[in-house]
Amino acid sequence: MVKIKNISYSFVSNVLVSFSQWIILSFISKKYGTEYLGGYSLVISYLLPLYSFLSFQLRNIYISRKVQTSDEYSNFFYLRITTSTLFFLISLFIGYFFYIEYFFIFLIIGTAKLIEGVNDIIYAYYHKKSEIVIYSKSLIRRSIILGIVSFLFFNLFDEFLISLISIPLSYLVVLLVDLYKYPDFNLLKINKAKINSIFSLFNTGIFAGFSLFIIYLIPNFPRIILENYTSTFQLGIFSGYMYIVIISRVLVQSIVQNSIPILSKKFIDKEKTSFLKIVKKELLILFAIGLLQFSILPFKDFIFPILFNDDFIGNTKLLIVIFTGSIFSFLSFGVNNAINAMGDFKIQVFIYLIVLSVTVISSFLLIPAYSLLGAGFVYLISSFIQFLTLVLFFKYRFEKRI
């Protein structure tokens, strides 16, 4: 019953997160146009990989460790504060020196991700105890507040940047509410960090973060190349279509994220059969979710203009390619989740370097020649290679370690 409750809360929270993200993208495309949506997507394409890298996957590392002490958590907390601050400064650097026309978007979204990073490490405190409901309720609050505040800002203000301030403002409100609502988590009672322990954690985290950086760079690199060789308008179109994949990923996350503590325990206890049974079951469900996406194809010219605007009519071939690639992407998510539960963070870097190399080469070969469709094929190819390499590695490491 507890597991069902966790999955239910997780599903609802992820649906609302996805919905709140759609509100932002929809408001941008409808009120300011597809080109503005492309500019916003370009900033996200830079900041998501950077944020992922400097997150160091600290929440996953904390959850997967056997020991659970206040001293250990302090090391995780202070390292996250440090890396989140570094993320914010690098975001400003990229915006100012490379994309001055989008500098204030870098500033606004960078601020939001800085706050999210602090919230994420607070969630780890409860996730370690399998109290997923607390994490899910916080996401639900954030989604509702973001939806309401963004609705007000986008309708009250004509200035694009002022409207975007609704994002970090909402994140800040949720952080303050969480700190007030859960008094057992007290920032003032967090112990002083131990330098030696932080350096040890840093060595593990930098590999885990770099692998996650590559994971997020793989789908975002083609967007950067697409904008460079075509326009922000084309990038806006591609980002809008990819949003359907993000919606589907809501189901993927709600299924997978709750199983890490369970899989980690079974792996530590060397329960091979039970471990594999859970992984196989999740992969089957993820495959089904990927197939369900194709059901919207007959209605695409009705759905996408409602979600965004009339610029999204057509492009059937592109959607088929994207949906096919997403199946392999979802399956990769499940296999990677199992690898995280095994604690194999460092080796993932080499796997994703292979996938990134394929992505970079295919991006330069296909996108200049085939534009939007080329970007879709890059996503398909990289997702397939990612799934294949993860499966091969998982099979080798699992048989060797258990």
Tokens of 334: 């499940």
Residue 391 buriedness (CB in 10 A; 0-12 / 13-18 / 19+) = middle
pLDDT, position 345: 65
Instruction: Enter the DSSP assignment of 30.
Output: I
Tokens of 300: 């695409």
Task: Annotate 128-153 with b (16+ C-beta within 10 A) or e (fewer).
Answer: bebebbbbbbbbbbbbebbbebbeeb
Cα gap 147→23, rounded to integer Å: 7
In the numeric block, the tokens 């999210």 are attached to 116
Cα gap 341→267, rounded to integer Å: 7
**Cβ contact 20:150 at 8 Å:** yes
Closest CA relative to residue 309, chosen from 23, 17, 31, 22? 31
Torsion, Cα 54 58 60 65, to 10 degrees, reads: 150
Q: What is the DSSP string of 270-321?
A: T-HHHHHHHHHHHHHHHHHHHHHGGGGGGGHHHHHHHHS-GGGS--HHHHHH
Which amino acid, one-letter code, is at 294?
F
Cα gap 390→214, rounded to integer Å: 14
- Residues spanned by the domain of 237: 2-401
pLDDT, position 67: 55
Q: What are phi and psi of 158, to 5 degrees?
A: -85, -25
Cα gap 241→238, rounded to integer Å: 5
**Cβ contact 386:327 at 8 Å:** no
How many structural domains comprise the chain? 1
pLDDT, position 93: 97
In angstroms, what CA-CA distances link 267 with 255, 275, 326, 371? 19, 7, 28, 45
Tokens of 252: 């993927």
Tokens of 217: 């760079």
In the numeric block, the tokens 């100012």 are attached to 96
Intra-chain end-to-end CA distance of the chain, in Å? 29
pLDDT, position 304: 87
**Cβ contact 171:119 at 8 Å:** yes
pLDDT, position 130: 60
pLDDT, position 162: 95
**Cβ contact 367:375 at 8 Å:** yes
Cα gap 193→79, rounded to integer Å: 9
Cα gap 390→335, rounded to integer Å: 7
Cα gap 326→277, rounded to integer Å: 23
pLDDT in tens, the chain (402 residues): 555 556 677 778 877 887 888 889 999 999 999 999 999 999 999 999 999 999 988 887 887 776 555 567 778 888 898 999 999 999 999 999 999 999 999 999 999 999 999 888 887 777 666 666 777 888 889 899 999 999 999 999 999 999 999 999 999 999 888 888 775 655 545 666 567 677 778 887 887 788 788 878 888 899 999 999 998 999 999 988 888 787 777 677 767 766 777 787 777 777 777 888 888 888 998 898 889 889 989 998 898 888 888 888 888 899 999 999 999 999 988 888 888 777 766 677 788 889 999 999 999 999 999 999 999 999 999 999 999 999 988 888 777 766
